[in-house]
Structure 1
Amino acid sequence: MIELKQIHHVAYRCNDAKETVEFYQRTLGMEFLVAIAEDRVPSTKEPDPYMHVFLDAGQGNILAFFELPTQPSMGRDPNTPVWCQHIAFEVSNETELLAAKTELEQQGLEVLGPVEHGIIRSIYFFDPNGHRLELTCRTGTQEQLDELKRVAPLMLEEWSQTKKAPRHAQWLHQQEFE
């Protein structure tokens, strides 16, 4: 069996590598680690110049971006809602979450939330490339996490058969929909 240690990096496309690095440095305090640029793709040998940048997202997590100047403009999948694809980062507690919201708003960013998710509380905003970002803090108890883990297989099986939302964990967002 394959034994994973952690995610090494997650890579997304960006419109402008410099603007993207500066945004993540300024808004989230990420350290710029590495830049790699080539005229050909090492894995496929295709001629396709790129700039590949890597940022430290904390605790060994790396967020990377590719700028591809010869490719058509970046878009998003029109069949996927904007809220669906996002990058979530964890902060230590709710005080830090609310301070981050204030700081982001002072930088001129529109921030949604905080949104209560039962076991986490989150805020949402967008980077200059249109990627949705989430900052979240844990608020749930170990008992709640254990219960979610217990019902996860039941929920997945029910969903796979009915394509209707199972109600095993409806308590997570009950306040949001009342």
Structure 2
Amino acid sequence: MLILKRIHHIAIICSDYKKSKEFYTSILGLTVLREVYRDERQSYKLDLALNGEYVLELFSFPSPPARPSRPEAAGLRHLAFAVIDIAETVQQLQEKGIAAEPIRTDEFTGKRFTFISDPDNLPIEFYEV
């Protein structure tokens, strides 16, 4: 059996690097660990951390194809962040001009959650813990 310790990181390809970098750093508050431009691939690679832990790679490539989100397509469904207070999270997002879906309750856990979209319409979930 494989011995997996934890998820190391998630990689996202964006269509507008500047807009996505702003979203993930200024809106979501992830911190930049390293940013490099790979000339041979015409691509930025941005390593981002949450609470000091490396969690996300943001890539840019010239003219990436759009990822269908709705109707839901096969593949990665969404990225979810744990939050303490979902109502406070939604309020802070609204103050930054980000609209959230109505808060729902997970029928299996009783926990509240909501979704927003990143600049490329990738669903981002906030799940109250």
Same fold (TM over 0.5): yes
Structure 2 unpaired stretches of 5+: none
Q: CA deviation at 1:58?
A: 3.4
Say which of 42, 52, 64 aligns to 2:45: 52
| Larger-Rg structure | 1
The one-letter amino acid of 2:120's match is N
Confirm or deny: 8 A CA contact 2:47 2:54 kept in the other structure. Answer: no
Q: CA deviation at 1:61?
A: 4.7
Q: Distance in 2 between matches of 1:35 and 1:50?
A: 11
Write out aligned runs for 1:74-93 (5 A): 74-77=65-68, 80-81=71-72, 85-92=77-84
Deviations 1:78-118 (A, max 9, x none): 78527x821100012xxx21111011112222211211003
The question of 1:109 aligning with 2:98 is answered yes
Residue in structure 1 matched with residue 122 of structure 2 by the alignment: 131
Aligned pairs, number: 125
The question of 1:62 aligning with 2:55 is answered yes
Q: Distance in 1 between matches of 2:23 and 2:12?
A: 15
* TM-score, with length taken from structure 2: 0.82
Confirm or deny: 8 A CA contact 1:17 1:53 kept in the other structure. Answer: no
Return closer, same or farther for 1:24/1:59 CA change in 2, 3 Å cut-off: same
- Structure 1 outlier segments of 4+, above 3 Å: 77-80
Among the aligned pairs, what percent are the same residue? 26
The SS at the match of 2:80 is: strand
Q: Distance in 1 between matches of 2:43 and 2:23?
A: 19
User: Larger % of helix: which?
Assistant: 1
The one-letter amino acid of 1:10's match is I
The SS at the match of 1:55 is: strand
Write out aligned runs for 1:1-178 (5 A): 1-40=1-40, 48-58=41-51, 60-69=53-62, 72-77=63-68, 80-81=71-72, 85-92=77-84, 96-118=85-107, 119=109, 120-138=111-129
Q: Distance in 1 between matches of 2:86 and 2:51?
A: 16
Q: Distance in 1 between matches of 2:70 and 2:106?
A: 25
The one-letter amino acid of 1:65's match is L
User: Larger % of strand: which?
Assistant: 2
The one-letter amino acid of 1:88's match is A
Structure 1 unpaired stretches of 5+: 41-47, 139-178
